[in-house]
Amino acid sequence: MDRARVALADLAALDRTALEALIVAQQSELSAQQEKLLSRDSEIEHLKLVIAKLRRMMFGTKSEKVTREIEQLELKLEELETRQAEHAAATTSDTPAKNKPTRRSLPEHLPREVHTHLPDEVACTQCGGELRKLGV
């Protein structure tokens, strides 16, 4: 909420020309995104048409080359449709995605203590097998 208040305060502080410039920049960014989406849609349609054409060519002869090409195009089509669905899900989501914090290693100047816990027995009490260190 504080971020929204700060953004509204910043917008209120801007003069008319600055606001108009901001609107123009946002409109150009929006049109670029729309062109990108249209390009992706046209590529998907093109791939669907090529796949249909190759399937018709395959009728009667089972050429491995045509089959491989169809499979590759289907994979590319599936990838594009998946990206399109992810983009649609990301744009319709109201809540922003939360980034998981990454844990940094401890600084080198901190003291380190190594504790080694040895078992009481040298062999397993159930099977009699020899016990050894983990990871060795």
Instruction: Summarize pLDDT for 9-56 with one digit per residue, the tens.
Output: 676 777 888 888 888 999 999 999 999 888 898 989 899 998 888 877
**CB neighbour list of residue 77: distance below 8 Å, 6 or more residues apart:** 44, 47, 48, 51
Q: How many residues does the chain have?
A: 136
Ordered by start, the domain boundaries in the chain are: 2-88
What is the per-residue pLDDT for 129?
Answer: 86
C-beta atoms surrounding 40 within 10 Å: 15
- Distance in angstroms (rounded) separating the CA atoms of residues 39 and 7: 33
What is the DSSP-derived secondary structure letter of residue 97? P
Work out the widest C-alpha separation in the chain, in whole angstroms. 84
Phi-psi region of 59 (alpha: psi -120 to 50; beta: other; left: phi over 0): beta
- Helix, strand, coil in percent for the chain, rounding step 5: 60, 0, 35
105 pLDDT band, cuts 50/70/90, is confident
Per mean pLDDT, which of 14-18, 78-82, 93-97 is the most reliable?
78-82
What is the per-residue pLDDT for 54?
Answer: 83
Q: Where do we find the tokens 């796949």?
A: 51
- Distance in angstroms (rounded) separating the CA atoms of residues 88 and 81: 10
At 123, is the secondary structure helix, strand, or coil? strand
